A and B are shown apart, each in its own frame.
Chain A
């Protein structure tokens, strides 16, 4: 109990500092309250996945409202204007990170018209955020930080039953995602341009897009809409998986590799596991195969995004968060005294993971959440 209170108090300090302090509108307080309710529920019930899903879907929705609102304020439309490109004012999106790396080493320039520094969506800010997220929660980015992933999280839960089972295709889906990552890195390198943004990004529809001024522009727009509908709406609805995140997103694939640097992982206790496969069917990231369980691998596959879904469904309580430095199959040392027990409670990997991951959720959403709420209020109060 003391541990839960301690971490709740720490989280309320984080929420206060990043959301409420220095501001005075009710939107900030409402958003801060919403986040605190989610956190307290997570830490109280131990069910991270349900409240995480609520957070991520809400964040994706509010992010779209706020981001589009900001675009309208600044340039009067969602379309990318020539002056935004010329001034290098296009927000630098995390998905672009892997695509710009190789060209950077050759050209010594970033092949994306974003500001380098001095803005929350500048290249340096995004690289720093990526770095700190990577060394702490790794691919947990996809389930706790990403402002796009929530769309799929929301849509995949609209249907109660899975209409199309993917379990036996897990490996192929993962292989496709990695192949697509390498393909997109190579083309970006060949054309020295972030080709993914120009042709493949499914989220243009909820962020910003290029004006249609020619036939290639029209084709690209059709692609964007098709990819959004197919990968973000239809497939998640049918499969109850984060289909785009697991089969297509180059950043997700890249983050699976970068996850090696993270501090946490998911551990499957093979002695407790009864092989019921509930975790495999529920994993939204196709990260648990039949082989993972039958082969007693002790951890999910490389695409695991630490969402906690499998932990919640496991009837044997065989799945848990663990520190990455603890070898597979091992657990932390047994406490030998009362003080040792207390220390261990504070150092429990699941709680530390939750605290780290949710801290990112709070900070990354801190500007967009209240801003979107203000915009929604202003619709009802007659302004905009």
Chain B
């Protein structure tokens, strides 16, 4: 690891100011992604601003019947919350399908949303990677593409977003609340939070430099049956090849979002209109325009089958 200095401010605005002040500063929450990348010198911050004393670790009811989840609420605490288990089951299920018990105890809501891709070439510092080193090229295109995106990628990058939690948050239409150094706050709809790579794959979110996530809010509960189906190479403790988050109502209508296939949680509201017609229609609409590689073309039929399994889970 490169040397760095470390501080623990006590207010969100002070934390935002501390990161804004230094171009080489970063926030650190659980550290489970950032430290991993710092050991490999993929991330090389010169200053770390720890968010643990900002009191962003509660889950509260909002006036409109939803929930406000503090940015530092751990993945375990969020998946264990009785309100989340009762009203937002898909979120609890998605979190519990990810990582391990130890990691979920440490991982936070904001950190999980901002975790970086698991593209193997992003991790291999001997390979060109536009995300790690803008302008260097993309070793994944034409390389081994099995874990990579089938849709939403560009000629510069075909990495996937690895989070399970984010797929459920996209399904639930969550909003990401932030604060900047001057105290300005805003709420970013989750659909606009993660960006597609285009020509700038290193720019991954709508956040400005130094903008601190303070909370993630959920609108009032949707009802319906909540399902999260994750397909992976091992039964546990592995990233998704494909995942499906779904909320299905008794009349067969509902919502569907995908993980493991795109640079951001993948949802198309128009595709959801096809739910009563079955999994194939939904998958076709969601994946229209997909550009898989030879190694990951299997994800297309896998999406359809996983949606079918999710619909049938919901009927049980």
On whether the two chains bind one another, the answer is no
